[in-house]
Amino acid sequence: MAAVDIPAHPAGATGFAHGALNVGAAWDSKRQRVVLYEGLGDAFTHVLTPSSTDFRAATWTWSRESYGGREPANGQGPIAAADSMQGAWGRWRYVPTLDVFLWTDGPGVTAETEDGATRDAIVQFWAAEGTPM
């Protein structure tokens, strides 16, 4: 295992609005990049793309990707400081066979689902821009 220096967000770029305390990270094997999601109702991810898979020698580029569709879990109502129930740490995964990211709002958090019902612990599927679902 080797440590890799990752650049800070460029000046003027929108960073992690909630302090990056509970960010989920997943390797997108199809697009060769790391996709980070902070949770807390955000409808976008931060993307960190290496210039090559030789991570020690690669240069890294930040970008941001937005998602359409329903509001993410935790998107309804006010949100306090990031905590383990609202952040995405440990609950953001990439599923290569489906080419989607999975996100769950965790147990005990209530959100309205596609059919209009209110449920705890919902799971949402996020697809990269241009990917049909």
Convert the pLDDT of each residue in 3-36 to its tens digit: 777 777 766 667 787 777 778 899 999 999 999 9
pTM higher than 0.75 for the full model?
A: yes
Helix (H) or strand (E) holding 26: strand 24-28
**CB proximity list for 61: less than 8 A, separation 6 or greater:** 48, 49, 51
pLDDT in tens, 47-81: 999 999 888 889 999 998 888 766 665 554 444 44
Q: Say how far apart CA 77 and CA 75 lie, in whole Å.
A: 6
